[in-house]
Amino acid sequence: MRLNILFFLFGMFLFSCGEATTEETPETVEDSTTAEPVLKYEQESNLQNLRQLTFGGDNAEAYFSFNDDKLVFQANNPEWGTACDQIYFMDLEGTQGKQPPLLSTGKGRTTCSYFMPGDSTILYASTHMGADTCPQAPRALNGKYVWGIFPDFDIFVSDLEGNIIRQLTDEPGYDAEATLSPDGSKIVFTSTRSGDLELWTMNVDGSDVKQVTSELGYDGGAFFSPDGTKLVFRSSRPKTDEEIKTYKGLLDQGLVQPTNMEIYVCNVDGSDLRQITDLGGANWAPYYHPSGEKILFSTNHHVEGGRQFNIFSINLDGTGLKQITFDPTFDAFPMFSYDGKKLVFASNRNNGGTRDTNVFLADWSE
């Protein structure tokens, strides 16, 4: 989806497959470095044998390989010589404080990486065809947090040595936030090719491109259900005349304001579209539970001012809302392993009083 690991004072990210923010500008957000380092909170009963996989910098959007023994993730770490978000991979032992293998070019900005079938190639979006440098956009406009929709983003396939072996998109405008179906046959991604930020699908070779959503608003961060028949995604759907005017005005400037988002599901062809959450605030980074009957997602609806993001679960009918993680700053980007036994996520916990965001892995317990 769009995400560069730009992270505002208390752990707010811009990511390809997810994103977090509040109504506050960076100057008004409270400093999170006063929180005591904690690895696991007592209330986190679903998380067992929790361990930290990265140490330092901004690390997030970690996703499992098909055989569940590797993770591909996005990171920005000055010690690794990165100017902005790039793609790396690691095994389940984590980085152990060392620089992992770089899979992207090291140029431009990247977002949302995903293993392809066979686990020898990965899918990701990058702006490097437009320029070697990081594209820039304002973080706030008229006092509101905004995110840049960089038109140089295209979707690529790379091998594990970092060699690009295929470019899947070449349309003008934004193509990013790509993830893969469980059977490895279909890709879902977000694109502006229709004039709005909509969901699209294509085959893994870039053929048979089909539009999924068509209602005005930002649809992104989509993932397939375990059986591959449905999609879950985040969306901001402007309704009032003022909301529509603001949305279109920002889109014309290559920007979106993602502070009000809810979670939706639909069939892969876009039919049976349903809104799952109606919580207010920013609800994003959804992922299906292995049962296919509920989803995990990140939200700030439960904290006054929206200055805390945690992972919750909810049934597909909108019932059974349950808090899963309890860091006082930032938890997001949950993904289950394909066997359903493990959960990986990003958090600002246990960072030694810094603003680092790291990747964590737990055994999942019902």
Which pLDDT score, from 0 to 100, does residue 10 have?
33
Q: Which DSSP letter does residue 245 get?
A: H
Q: Supply the pLDDT for residue 35.
A: 54
pLDDT per residue rounded down to tens, the chain (366 residues): 333 333 333 334 444 465 443 333 333 233 444 456 899 999 999 999 999 999 999 999 999 999 999 999 999 999 999 889 999 999 999 999 899 999 999 999 999 999 999 999 999 999 999 999 999 989 888 888 899 999 999 999 999 999 999 999 999 999 999 999 999 999 999 999 999 999 999 999 999 999 999 999 999 999 999 999 999 999 999 999 999 999 999 999 999 998 899 999 999 999 999 999 999 999 999 999 999 999 999 999 999 988 899 999 999 999 999 999 999 999 999 999 999 999 999 999 999 989 999 999 999 999
Each as own residue / partner, the long-range contacts of residues 44-48 (CB below 8 Å, 24 or more positions apart, any chain) are 44/324, 44/325, 44/326, 45/365, 46/324, 46/343, 46/362, 46/364, 46/365, 46/366, 47/324, 47/325, 47/343, 47/362, 47/363, 47/364, 47/365, 48/362, 48/363, 48/364, 48/365
Integer Cα distance of 106 and 108 in angstroms: 7
What whole-number distance in Å separates Cα of residue 11 and Cα of residue 318?
Answer: 27
* Cβ burial 250-275 (10 Å sphere, 16+ → b, else e): bbeebbbbbbbbbbbbbebebeebee
Give the pairing type, strands 331-336 and 322-323. Answer: unpaired
Q: Are 89 and 153 in contact (CB under 8 A)?
A: no
Separation between Cα atoms, residue 196 and residue 3, nearest integer Å: 18
Closest CA to 303 of 274, 323, 273, 276: 323
Phi and psi angles of residue 306, each rounded to the nearest 5 degrees, phi first: 70, 25
Note the pLDDT of residue 34: 47
25 residue type, one letter: T
Residue 205: CA count within 13 A, CB half-sphere: 2
Beta bridge partners of 123: 114, 157
- Residue 287: what residue type? Y
Q: Which residue segments constitute the domains of the chain, with CATH numbers given?
A: 3-364 (2.120.10.30)
Pick the closest to residue 84 from 36, 18, 131, 151 (CA basis).
Answer: 131
- Residue 79 phi/psi, 5-degree rounding, is -70, -20
The letter for the amino acid at 299 is: T
Q: State how far the Cα of 268 lies from the Cα of 272, in Å rounded to an integer.
A: 9
The pLDDT of residue 17: 67
Write the CA distances from 46 to 25, 62, 294, 359, integer angstroms: 33, 19, 15, 17
Token representation of residue 237: 């759907």
In angstroms, rounded to a whole number, what is the distance separating the alpha carbons of residues 199 and 220?
7
- Count of beta carbons in the 10 Å neighbourhood of residue 280: 13
